[in-house]
Chain A
C-alpha cells in the first residue's frame, strides 16, 4: 500500500498540535512537512515532529503531497484552501470553515472545479459519546426530536482569536459551529432562522465573549446554542460540550468530555479527560478519504452551513430581530 503524504499548513491554530500528533500514529501516513509563515514556530514544530519546514506553504503545495491540513487563522483559510485546491490537494480545514459568504463560496467552488475533497475539522462528530447519542436518536430511543439545548463553553483564547480581522468574530464565530454542526447532523434538517443575544461582557477584550443563539430548523425543531467563552482561567475543564435533546418519547443528554479524572496537584485542580476526544478519528477519516477516494463524512459544505448560522447570529444580535439564514 502506497504511503499517504500529508502536510500541515500553519500552527496558528493550536489544534494543529493534536492533529499532527494523530497523523504520526497512523500507519501508512507520511508527514512530509510543516509550513508556517512564523519561522520560529514552524521550525520548532518541524523539529518536534521530525519533518521538513516550509516557510511558504506554496512551496509545499508544489510537492507530491496528497493532502493538507489547514490551521491558519480563520481569515487565511480562503487563500490557502484555494491554493491547495488548485494544486489538486485534498484538504482538511480547521473550523470555522470561513468567515464570510464570499470566501466560503470561492473555497467550495475551487474544490469542486479541481475535484478535490474538502473536509471541515469537526472532531465532535468523531467523539464516541456524541456518536452513541446520535445512534440512540437514530434508533428512535427518544422518538422524534422536538428541541435541543447546546452549550459550548470554554476559556477565552488569545492572540489572533481576539482580532476580528483575523478571526471573523469572537465566541459566536468560534463556538457556534461545533454545536450547530451536531444539531444539523442529529436533526437532518437545516437551520431556517436565528435570534441571538451576544456581546463583550465578561473578559473586557473588545470582542464578543458571550453569545446565545436561538435557532429554528426547517423541520420545526427549535434549539439554543450557548457559545460563550464563559470559563475563567482556573475552570477545571476545556472545553465543555453539552447537549440536551428532547424528543417525543424521552430525553438524552450528552456531556462529551464527562469521562475524566479529577486531578488535584499542589498548584492546580483540573479534570483530565480519558474518553475519546475525536481528533484522532477525524484525522484518520481524512487519511481514509484520500486513500479511498471517497466523499468525507463531514464536508466543506457542512462547514459553510455552520458558518452561515454564526453570521446570521451576528446580524440578529445587532437587529434584535429573527434573521433568516442565507444559504450558499
Chain B
C-alpha cells in the first residue's frame, strides 16, 4: 500500500463512519439491525420497508430515518452502503438499483434465484467499482470457524467425509408466505442448505456431482431434503435440510467431518451452556441459550467484515463469485431432485 493510500485509510478508519441504509425490516432486517448496534465504522442511518411500522420500530433504535419508498430513501439520504434484507426474488432489482447509484451493497443470501441474475449483479458491481458481498453467515459462526481452525492445524488429516444438517420447522413467518412459493424462494435446497453448500465449497473444495432428493412443495410447509455431493478432490458430503419438523420445534444444525487422522463433531442442540427450566401455563418449559459476546456474534462479524473491506479498500471475504458458486450447487440439487439423476457441475478446478 502506498504511503498516501495508507494515510487515507488511516484517516478513514479514524474519522469516516460509513452511512448504511437497510431495505427490508423483516426477520433478517431485525437481526441485522441488532448487529448494527455494535458495528464499528458504520452507522445505520435509514431503514426502508413497505410496512411503515416495521421500518419505524427499527429506525427508532438507531435514531435513523425511515421510508416506505426505496427510491426516495436513495434520493434523500447520503448513503455509502445499502444492506438488502429482502426476499430472494427481489434481490436483483434492489441490488442493481443500489449499484447504479454507486452504493456498496451487502445482500442477504441466496444471491438470486438463477445464475443469469446473479452474474448480472456481480458484473454490475464490478463495472461500477463498488463492493458487493452476500450474507453467507455460516462462515462466521464460531463452531464452524473452530472446525476450520482445527482442520488447518492438521489434527484430523485431510477431510474425506463431511455431514451437515440444518433442520427445523417451516418458516411460516415469511412476508406473504413467500418461502412457500418455490418460484420465489427456491425451497430449502436453495434457501436453507445453501448455507452449508457455501461453507463446504469454500473450505473443502469444488463440487463434481450432486444427487438430491426432496419432498418439494407437494405439501405446503413440509419439505425435507437429502443431498449427496462428490467433491472434485474425492471427498463425499451428505447435507440434510429440513422444513419438516413440527411447528415450534427447536431449530438445529450439526456437522461431522471425518479426516484421514481424526474427526470433528458438532450439534447445536447439544452445545448450549445455559438451560433454563421455567414455570409456564402448561407446567414448565426448557429454554436453552448459547450466548456470545457482541463482537463474536456471527451476523455482527459478517457485517463488520464487509464494512472493514470498504474502509480498508480490499475485497470482501465473501465475494459475489462465491455466492454464484454456492447458488450453482443449490440449482444442481434442485435439478437432480426433479430429474432423479445425479447432476455434474462444470468448471472449477
Contacts and interface: CB of A to CB of B under 8 A. Distances in A.
A194 to B, nearest CB: 11
A216 interface: yes
Given A146-B244, A149-B240, A197-B228, A320 B263 contact: no
A36 B244 CA distance: 51
Contacts of A320: 209, 342
B215 interface: yes
Interface string A288-328: 00000000000000000000000000000000111000000
Contacts of B240: 149, 244
Contacts, number: 89
A235 interface: yes
A230 B228 contact: no
B342 A202 contact: no
Nearest to A216: B213
Given A198-B236, A228-B161, A322-B340, 7 more contacts: A146-B224, A147-B224, A197-B236, A199-B236, A251-B246, A251-B249, A321-B341
Interface in B225-246: 226, 228, 230, 234-236, 238, 240, 242, 244-246
Contacts of B246: 249-251
Interface of A: 146-147, 149, 151, 195, 197-199, 201-204, 210-212, 214, 216, 222-224, 226, 228, 230-232, 235, 244, 246, 248-251, 320-322
Closest 7 CB pairs of A and B: A201-B160, A222-B213, A230-B258, A147-B224, A197-B236, A246-B244, A224-B226
A226 B238 contact: yes
A321 B209 CA distance: 11
Given A226-B163, A246-B244, A147 B342 contact: no
A146 B222 CA distance: 10
Contact of B238 (A146, A224, A231): A224
Given A147-B215, A250-B246, A322-B340, A232 B261 contact: yes
A210 B213 contact: no
B262 A146 contact: no
B230 A230 contact: no
Size bracket of the B interface:
20 to 34
A147 B213 contact: yes
B6 interface: no
A322 B340 CA distance: 8
16 contacts: A147-B213, A147-B244, A149-B226, A195-B342, A197-B209, A197-B211, A201-B161, A202-B258, A211-B236, A226-B163, A228-B161, A230-B161, A246-B242, A249-B246, A250-B246, A320-B209
Contacts of A228: 161, 258
B226 A147 contact: yes
A195 B228 CA distance: 9
Nearest to B213: A222
B260 interface: yes
Interface in B54-109: none
A201 B213 contact: no
Which of B235, B238, B260 is the most central at the interface, judged by chain A CB atoms within 10 Å of its CB? B238
A214 B228 contact: yes
